[in-house]
Amino acid sequence: MALRTPEERFENLPDYGYDAKRVEVDEGIEMAYVDVGDDEADETFLCLHGEPTWSYLYRKMIPTLAAEGRVIVPDLVGFGRSDKPEDEEAYTFASEYGWLESFVKALDLTGVTLVAQDWGGILGLSVAARNPDRFARLVPMNTGLQDGSAGMPDEWEQFRDFVKGADELPVGFLVDAGCVSTLDDEVKAAYEAPFPDASYQAGARALPLRVPTSPDDPGADEIRETRELLSDWEKPAFVLFSDSDPITGPARDDLRKLIPTAEEQPDVWVEDAGHFLQEDAGERVAERIVEFVRRT
């Protein structure tokens, strides 16, 4: 069974008045998404969030990107205004990958600049690597392609253990803790809006436990294949990380070396930003991405 957060939970959120569109990505499961700008524009930005956020994370970036083209910001299944299967076992790398790939194909997206962070990067890079004709550029941000062959930072292990032991996730607190800036109570409440109670949090609880920590873990083979495919990527790529993210920071150089065209771009860190760089420096990040699009 899949839950759907009541729409009134999303009313009057600070700086976020975007209506949701929906598309079916599996039997009985719909993904919600924001679609802003000219759908006939030359540029299309697909912006993907991660754990435990939703499309609200991109509110500071949407206006700048929309001035350059069409901006599509979906909520992953289990998050935001998308449907939320109640069973944690429903959330795997394979299922989230399948839902996202179905979304891209259902909207028939082409010429896409992928902008993806955290789990949005793991999934988005995997979809792009297997559907290269649909993607024009890659912008992975504060993410990585962990296939279980390397260890994870202590901060990530602590977060994983916290999620594993919590009866209910304090989502607003977690997002605030992942930022350099201090979030207002209204903003923290907006991140909590998709989750009226713990029964809606199956996806948010499951995904941290789905990151492979061993080469034999579920999803590890698929991520290794993603890495192999991206090692031959010939289109533009811009690896854009913040300077204050202990969780994914070590993955930045790995991605720059993995994707051949990434090292052709400037060596840029986003200053004064944490794991959720869209929250700490969204306007600056969007400007960097527009500059990247224009020079490529």
User: How far are the Cα atoms of 90, 124, 166, 193, 268 from residue 198, in angstroms, in the given order?
Assistant: 16, 27, 10, 12, 39
Three-class SS of the chain: CEECCCHHHHCCECCECCCCEEEEEECCEEEEEEEECCCCCCCEEEEECCCCCCHHHHCCCHHHHHCCCEEEEECCCCCCCCCEECCHHHCCHHHHHHHHHHHHHHCCCCCEEEEEECHHHHHHHHHHHHCHHHEEEEEEECCCCCCCCCCCCHHHHHHHHHHHHCCCCCHHHHHHHCCCCCCCHHHHHHHHCCCCCHHHCHHHHHHHHHCCCCCCCCCHHHHHHHHHHHCCCCCCECCCEECCCCCCCCHHHHHHHHCHHHHHCCCCEECCCCCCHHHHHHHHHHHHHHHHHHHC
CA 76/CA 53 separation, integer angstroms? 9
At 10-50, the pLDDT tens digits run: 999 999 999 999 999 999 999 999 999 988 889 999 999 99
Q: What is the pLDDT of residue 277?
A: 98
Cβ 108 vs Cβ 74: under 8 Å: no
User: How far are the Cα atoms of 38, 118, 282 from residue 63, in angstroms, in the given order?
Assistant: 12, 22, 10
Q: What is the pLDDT of residue 197?
A: 96
Q: What is the pLDDT of residue 154?
A: 87
Cβ 143 vs Cβ 49: under 8 Å: no
Q: Residue 32 corresponds to which amino acid?
A: A
Show me where the domains of the chain are located. 2-295
| Max intra-chain CA distance, the chain | 48
Q: What is the pLDDT of residue 153?
A: 86
C-alpha closest to that of 188 among 179, 197, 199: 179
State the fold for domain 2-295. Rossmann fold (3.40.50)
At 113-127, the pLDDT tens digits run: 999 999 999 999 999
Tell me the two tokens of residue 85.
Answer: 């299967």
Other Cβ atoms closer than 10 A to 158? 11
Other Cβ atoms closer than 10 A to 185? 9
10-residue stretch averages of pLDDT, the chain, 296 residues long: 95 95 97 94 96 98 97 98 97 98 98 98 98 98 93 87 91 97 97 97 96 93 98 97 92 95 92 97 98 96
Q: Residue 52, preceding bond cis, omega within 30 degrees?
A: yes
Q: What is the pLDDT of residue 268?
A: 86
Q: What is the pLDDT of residue 150?
A: 83
Task: Return the bridge partners of 48, or none.
Answer: 116
The dihedral sign for the CA sequence 273, 192, 212, 47: negative
Q: Is the pTM of this model over 0.85?
A: yes
CA 214/CA 58 separation, integer angstroms? 32
* Enzyme catalytic residues: 118, 245, 275
Q: What is the pLDDT of residue 155?
A: 87
CA 255/CA 239 separation, integer angstroms? 7
